[in-house]
Chain A
Amino acid sequence: MDERSDTELLLASRADPATFVELYRRHAEDLLRYFARRTLDPEAAAELTAETFAEAFASRRNYRDTGVNGVAWVYGIARHQLSRFYRTGTIEAKARGSLGMNVRDLPAEDYERIEELVDLAPIREALVEALATLGSEQRDALQLRVIDELSYTDVASRLGCAEAAARQRVSRGLRRIAIVLQERGLSLATEVE
C-alpha cells in the first residue's frame, strides 16, 4: 500500500508514470459513482470515468501543487468532462486516443451494478415529466426499466428486441433525461464524492 498523498502521487507520476495507477486505484470507484449519479447513464458514467483519468494522466505534468489535495485536480477535469457532456450529449475519446487506450464496451454485469449506484427515487417525479421529451422507443424502454423496475431480460422481451438493444435504449434515454434535468436546473447529485 502506497502511503504517499494524492498530491505526492501526482507529482511523482511525472517521472514515474506507474505511480498514477495508484491514484486511479484510490479514486476510480468514487469517480464512477460521481458520474453515474449525474448522468443516470452507466455507459456515459463509465466512459466519462475513463476519459477523465486518461486526460489526467496525459496532462499530469501541468499539475501544480497549490496545497489542495491532488484528487481535487482530477475532479476539476471531471467537471469539465461533465459540463461538455451536458452541453453536447457526447463524450470525447481524445485523451484515450492519444494514449492508445481503447474505448471499451461496458460489460453487462457492470451495467446493472452502476445503475445500482444511482438512487433514482428522489428524481422519480421529474423523470416522469422528462420522459415526455423522449422518443417512443427510449421512453418505453425507460418506463419498463426505471418505473416498473423490470430486469433487462424482461424489458427486452416486452419490447421484442435483444437485451443489448434494450440496454442501449435505456442508456440513451437516461442520458437524454440527465441532460434535460440539467437544463431545467434540477441537480442530479449535490455532493462531490
Chain B
Amino acid sequence: MMDTEFAFLTELERDLAEAARVEKRRLTATAKPRRASHRRAWLGAAASFLTIAFVIGFLAQGGGFGSSSQSAGGSFSTVGSAVGDGGGDTQSNRRVNGTPAAAPPVQAWLGQSGGASYAVGQTNNQDSTTSTSGQPDLSKIIRDGAIAVTIADGSFSDQVKRVVAIAGANDGSVLSSTTAGGDSGTFTLRIPADNFDKALLQLRELGTVDASEVHGQDVTAEYIDAKAHLKIYLSRRTVLYDLMAQATTIGSTLTVQNQLEQVQLKIDQITGQLRYLDNQVAESTIKVDIHEPDAAVAGATDDIRNPSLGRAFERAVQGFMNILAAVLIGFGYLIPLLVIAGVIYLVVMAVRRRSRRTADDG
C-alpha cells in the first residue's frame, strides 16, 4: 500500500488493484481461447481466400476447366486403326466404344488374321462378284467405322466443308451432324461400301487421328438363309397359284387364297430383309468426330461404361491440376487487391497512430 495521509487515495489504490486483479484473471482466462480463436480466424481467412481464388479462377476460365481431358479421346477413345491405310496401325483394333465386337473380327475381314479370303477394298455386296478361287462371292458384310480427328485451331468451319466434300466425292452423304461451340462436331456419313476405305483415308487427312475404329459384321449366312427361304416361298407361291387356278369351289378357293396371302406376306418380309441387308452392305456408316485442340467434347460416359483405373488416375491428376490452376489464376486477380488493401490499412494505422499521439501530447 502507498504511504499517504489521504484515505481517499488508499481506497482508490485498493480499487485499482482490484481492477488489475480482475483484468489479470480475464487475460489468463482468455489467453488460450484467444490464441485458438486467432488460429481459427487465420484458418478461416486462408480457407476463404483459397475459395475466393478458386471461384475467381474458375470464372476466369469461363466456368469450366477446358477440354483437355475430353478432347483427346473423343467419343472413340483410344482405338487403333483397323483401316488398311498403308501405315502400321492396321494390326490394332482395340475397341472401347461400347458396341459389341462384330463377327468375324475386322482383322479377319481385312485378311490379316487368317481364315478369311476377302481383300481390303473388295466389294462384297455383289452376288456376281467372283473371288480369286473363281467361286461366286456371296459374302455380305456390313461395315461401319468411326474416327476422331483433332483439327487445327480455327479450322473447324473449313474442315466441316471438307467432311461434306469427302462424303460427296465418294458418292455418299451426310446422314446427320451435330456441332458444339463452333469448334467441334460429330457427323454420320453414309458412304458406298466400295468407297469406304477411300473415304476413311481421306478423313484421316483432316488432322491428327486420335482414334479410329472399323467394324465388320458378316451377314452372309443370314443373307443366304433369307434367300433360301425366299426361294422356297416363291416355289410355294407358284404351286398355290396353280391350285388356285384349279379350285372349283368357293371353300377350296378361299383356303388356297388364305395360304397364298400368308406365303406372299412371308415373301414380302424376306424381300424387305434382303433389301435392308443389301442396303447395309452397299453403304457403310462412318461416324466422324472432329474437334479443335481445346474444344470440349461430350464423351464422358465412355469412362462410366468402360471404367479403367489408369484413366481414372489420369483424370484425377488432371482434375487436381485444374483446381490448382484455378486457384493460381485466382491468386493473380487477388494479389493486386490485397496489396492495395494492405497499403490502405497501413495508411489508416499511421493516421490513427499520429492522431493518438497528438491527443496524448495535447
Query: A residues within 8 Å of B by Cβ?
Result: 13, 15-18, 20-21, 24-25, 28-29, 32, 46, 49-50, 53-54, 57, 62, 64, 66, 73, 76, 79-80, 96, 99-102, 104, 106-107, 109-110, 113-114
A17 to B23, CA, bound (A): 7
* A20 smallest CB distance to B (angstroms): 6
**Number of residues of chain B lying within 8 A (CB) of chain A:** 28
Interface string of B4-35 (1 = CB under 8 A from A): 11111101110111111111100100000000
Q: Which of B20, B21, B24, B357 contacts A64 (CB 8 A)?
A: B357
Closest Cβ neighbor of A106 among chain B residues = B8
In contact, A15 and B8 (Cβ under 8 angstroms): no
User: Is B2's CB under 8 angstroms from A24's CB?
Assistant: yes
Q: For the complex, what is the distance from the CA of A158 to the CA of B9, rounded to whole Å? A: 31
Task: Tell me how far the C-beta of A47 lies from the nearest C-beta in chain B, rounded to whole angstroms.
Answer: 10
Beta-carbon contact of B353 and A49 below 8 Å: no
Inter-chain contacts of B205 with A (CB < 8 A): none
B127 at the binding interface (Cβ < 8 Å): no
Bound-state CA distance A50–B19 (Å) is 13
Beyond A17-B23, A100-B19, 6 extra complex contacts between A and B, CB < 8 Å: A24-B12, A29-B9, A73-B360, A96-B15, A100-B18, A100-B22
Residues of B contacting A15 in the complex (Cβ-Cβ under 8 angstroms):
27
Min Cβ gap B29→A in Å is 13
Take A17-B24, A106-B8 as given contacts and tell me if A66 and B357 are in contact as well, using a CB distance cutoff of 8 Å.
yes
Inter-chain contacts of A113 with B (CB < 8 A): 5-6
In the complex the two chains form, is B6's CB within 8 Å of A57's CB? no
How far in angstroms is the closest Cβ of chain B from A100? 7
Q: Mark B346-361, 1 if CB is under 8 A from A, else 0.
A: 0000000100110111
On whether the beta carbons of A109 and B7 are closer than 8 Å, the reply is yes
CA–CA, A76 and B358, complex, Å: 10
Q: Give A70 to B174 CA distance when docked, in angstroms.
A: 92
Asked whether, in the complex, the Cβ of B20 is within 8 Å of the Cβ of A28, the reply is no
| Measured CA separation A18–B20 after assembly (Å) | 5
A100 to B23, CA, bound (A): 11
Please indicate which of the listed interface residues A32, A46, A66, A110 has the most CB atoms of chain B within 10 Å of its own CB. A110
Are A18 and B21 closer than 8 Å at their CB atoms? Answer: yes
The interface residues of chain A, by DSSP majority, are classed as: helix
Give complex CA distance A167, B16 in Å.
27
CB pairs A–B below 8 angstroms (24 shown): A13-B20, A17-B20, A17-B23, A17-B24, A17-B27, A18-B17, A21-B13, A28-B12, A29-B9, A32-B9, A49-B9, A49-B12, A50-B15, A53-B16, A54-B19, A57-B16, A64-B353, A76-B361, A79-B362, A101-B18, A104-B15, A106-B8, A109-B7, A113-B6
Name the residue in A24, A64, A102 with the highest tally of chain B Cβ atoms < 10 Å from its Cβ: A24
Least CB distance from A2 to B in Å reads 12
Q: Is the CB of A57 within 8 A of B20?
A: yes
Q: Determine which of B8, B16, B356 lies in contact with A46 in the assembled complex, contact meaning CB atoms within 8 Å.
A: B8
List chain B residues, Cβ under 8 A from A104.
8, 11-12, 15
With a cutoff of 8 Å between Cβ atoms, the chain A residues found around residue B353 in the complex are 64
Residues of chain A within 8 A of B5, CB atoms compared: 113
Q: CB-nearest residue of chain A relative to B360? A: A76
Bound together, the chains give a CA A53 to CA B24 distance in angstroms of 17
* Chain B, Cβ-Cβ closest to A109: B7
Complexed CA–CA distance, A37 and B16 (Å): 24
Residue of B nearest to A53 (CB): B16
B359 touching A76 by the CB < 8 A rule? yes
Considering only CB atoms, which chain A residue lies closest to B361 in the complex?
A76
